[in-house]
Chain A
Amino acid sequence: MPSSYATHPEAREIVFDFLEGYDVLGAFWMTVKLTALSALGSLVWGTLLAAMRVSPVPLMRGFGTAYVNIVRNIPLTVIIVFTSLGLADIFGVTMGAPDNFDVQGFRLAVLGLVAYTSAFVCEALRSGINTVPVGQAEAARAIGLSFSQVLRLVVLPQAFRSVIGPLANVLIALTKNTTVAAAIGVAEAAYLMKEMIENEAQTLAIGAVFALGFVVLTLPTGLILGWLSKRLAVKR
């Protein structure tokens, strides 16, 4: 960042003085990485949870329900801090990086975000499953498909298409939720913002820069996925 302003010292001093020496773009890149990996993870785990919640095995249904209802009701901060304080420090789950805290913190944050976000993905998917007409599943069963085939081949593909809108909301929420990873020292946008606010005087200007960054990240996501959800909606 600083080099690009170096040629216009007076502009730098007036407007972007507080940005000097801080890697704002790098911090947002960390936010993007956290978001992307957590989104992938929660899509997988959330789908599995949804499958459990509609499965023929009562115990799995119970587990899915209990998981979602417990995880959704705990503040994300508690979950993220617990991945580090509990999982890593007490249980020794160091995510393959026992000697590198930067990598470990990042992976733990992704794990925490996945654990939390997948509960919301599961619920969105479940409502999607509810939109698939009964006849579809009945027809699938009539031609002899098993539970997993009904789910994989008939119900879920339709369910996914109908819940792109809700999933977009979950993704946007996830993007903003990555700020909580600062609690275990992951150097993403909110972490840098705290550091800058502690060192510089222009609290409002710093806040505005980071607010803008998040608008830039989340608005296109919403617009693109909103357009996709209209295009891919199952016409009935």
Chain B
Amino acid sequence: MKLRKVTAASAAVLALALSATACGGDDSKDSDSAATAGGGGKIKVGIKYDQPGLGLKEPDGSFSGFDVDVATYLAKELGYEPGQIEFVETKSADRENALARGDVKFIAATYSITDERKQKVDFAGPYLLAHQDLLVKTDSDITKGTDLNGKKLCSVTGSTSAQNVRDTIAPKAQLKEYGGYSECIAALQSGAVDAVTTDDSILAGFAAQDKYKGQFKLAGLKLSNENYGVGVKKGDTETLNKINTALEKMVSDKSWQKAVEANFGPANYQNEPAPTIGNIVK
């Protein structure tokens, strides 16, 4: 009797499993078209979720930041109202793949234009010129790149900023790596590291957060030039051209300046003037 109960239970589990895979098969069909749909459909845009000032998912579920404003403007120019935009989180390591697979139409996520990346995706823009910089405590005495030798530094695992420090700026610096910038900032706050390095635009956003206000400052070193571009799928010239036109319009109708002031103003971030399309500052 009891044995049969167990058998019945296993049979039930098996049936559940089959039905689960079956429904899985069903709902996979209709969702595929979403990423590429034009006109009345939705548009998927890749942004960051965890960078205050650039791309951040707010507690109320909305999104804020400069990249978000740029993306919203571009989507509007492509014919999509804000309600039709679906923001997708594209982590740094996944950006090229997300475009190649067609998961998103375009990406505005602190995406620096580099030669390696240009082989895999096409870039519109640039729409912002940022620089690698250091975030240090307000009382820090680090004023130039070579001051970093022998100092402790934090950056995100495998990032180009980390490689820059290691290879050229200060090879003798100690580098701690974490999965996200929030972790690095926490390490800076607790005194475990002397500086956090990445693009100044990103650092400014963190420094401006309420809980950190007044504790940190940017060293203002301009250790590199980071030309933020809008990534589109390789060969998608139509979207690329439309986005370039839209970016020009965004600068000329002052929306660009407004977005800059709204997002970087509170962070006290001295941004570079709007770059011209196709002019990549090496």
Contacts and interface: CB of A to CB of B under 8 A. Distances in A.
Q: Find out whether A and B make contact in their complex, taking CB atoms under 8 A apart as touching.
A: yes
Interface of A: 81, 84-85, 88-90, 99-101, 105, 182-185, 191, 194-195, 197-199, 201, 203
B41 interface: no
Contacts of A203: 97
Nearest to B152: A101
B175 interface: yes
A201 B120 contact: yes
B185 to A, nearest CB: 11
Given A89-B192, A194-B157, 9 more contacts: A81-B183, A85-B187, A89-B190, A101-B174, A183-B178, A183-B179, A184-B178, A185-B177, A194-B93
B262 interface: no
Contacts of A194: 93, 157-158
Interface string B122-164: 0000000000000000000000000000001000011000000
B154 to A, nearest CB: 9
A85 B183 contact: yes
A112 to B, nearest CB: 14
Contacts of B97: 203
A193 B174 CA distance: 22
Interface of B: 92-93, 97, 116, 120, 152, 157-158, 174-179, 183, 186-187, 190, 192
A101 B93 CA distance: 23
Given A85-B186, A89-B190, A197 B178 contact: no
A90 B190 contact: yes
A101 B150 CA distance: 11
B176 A101 contact: yes
A52 B74 CA distance: 64
B159 to A, nearest CB: 9
A198 B179 contact: no
Contacts of B192: 88-90
B204 to A, nearest CB: 23
A2 to B, nearest CB: 18
B216 to A, nearest CB: 16
Given A90-B190, A185-B157, A199 B116 contact: yes
Given A85-B186, A85-B187, A89-B186, A195 B158 contact: yes
A75 to B, nearest CB: 13
A183 to B, nearest CB: 6
> Lowest 7 CB-CB distances: which A-B pairs, in order?
A185-B177, A89-B192, A101-B174, A89-B187, A101-B176, A89-B190, A195-B158
B174 A81 contact: no
Contacts of B157: 182-183, 185, 191, 194
A194 B156 CA distance: 13
26 contacts: A81-B178, A81-B183, A84-B176, A85-B178, A85-B183, A85-B186, A89-B186, A89-B187, A89-B190, A89-B192, A90-B190, A90-B192, A99-B174, A105-B176, A105-B177, A183-B157, A183-B178, A183-B179, A184-B178, A185-B178, A191-B158, A194-B157, A197-B93, A198-B93, A199-B116, A203-B97
A106 to B, nearest CB: 13
Nearest to A99: B174
Contacts of B174: 99-101
A182 B93 CA distance: 14
Contacts of B183: 81, 85
Contacts of B179: 81, 183
Nearest to A92: B192
Contact of B177 (A90, A184, A198, A201): A184
B161 to A, nearest CB: 13
A182 B178 CA distance: 9
Contacts of A100: 174
Chain B CB within 10 Å — which of A81, A84, A85, A203 has the most? A85
Contact of B175 (A88, A101, A198): A101
